[in-house]
Amino acid sequence: MRKTIADTGWIYGILYSERLEVRAAVHAGELIRQGVIGKVIQAINIAPHQVVQNGGLAGGGSGQPDWFWNDVQLGGILYDIGSHQVEQFLYYTGSTCAEVVASKVANLRHPDRPHFQDFGDMMLRGDKGFGYVRLGWFTPAGLGTWGEGRIFVLGTDGYIEIRKYIDVAVARRGNNLFVVDGKSARVIDFANGPLPFGPQFVADIVRRTHAAQGQAQCLLATELSILAQKNAVRATITG
């Protein structure tokens, strides 16, 4: 991809939807750039997903196609889901170079699907901050949505929590942004905020700019996800 971009001069983008299509996640980035929580130290990203069963959301999984259960075809949990989370780590910390310190995958609930990975995590270290990502296919049907994605961004002067898709047991709406700084603790409902990526990306193509997405960051997120998956330890829990 890097070679093709260099050879052609084309603008390439990846729609990392868990940030670019979540309004609260977009606004959190603006607050961070404004210095509301000071210098970012760490981003923790929890991304539980739910297996589809018979066309609905539940814990069994018979509604998924055959390739879903094959880590070679799916790409593995750290790459399939984790690329979104790595991109957010880079974006919120402002890191332009980073490494995967450690990563692991496991199959803890689906013994009948030996090539499936239902749990994974990774530890990241960037030049501007630290990161941790946890992924899984254990979201119970009682949640009422396909996953309870959360991000915790710690800064030197405060922290931000993003509850992307639901405020669990409180309200069945997403885009909940919690901000704690030296002045107050507050919650922001950002359900009606803008999603600028689409118009910005079209404008980038016309103007040959990179306002919507940094090209290097876009590709680095993919590279780190591949490395995390490739080098992951396969773990088990006994007892």
Write out pLDDT tens, residues 90-129.
Answer: 999 999 999 999 999 999 999 999 999 999 999 999 999 9
Length of the chain: 239
Instruction: Give the bridge partners for 106, in sequence order.
Output: 119
Q: Residue 229's pLDDT band (boundaries 50, 70, 90)?
A: very high
CATH of domain 2-224: 3.30.360.10
Question: Does residue 59 register a pLDDT over 50?
Answer: no
pTM, two decimals, is 0.92
Dihedral sign for Cα atoms in the order 154, 155, 159, 164: negative
Exposure string for 58-75, b = 16+ CB within 10 A, e = fewer: beebeebeeebbebeebb
Give the span between the Cα atoms of 234 and 106, in whole angstroms: 6
Residue 204 CB contacts under 8 Å (≥ 6 apart), including other chains:
11, 13, 210, 211, 212, 213
How confident is the model over 7-36, as pLDDT tens digits? 999 999 999 999 999 999 999 999 999 999
pLDDT, tens only, 135-162:
999 999 889 888 899 999 999 999 999 9
Domain boundaries, the chain: 2-224
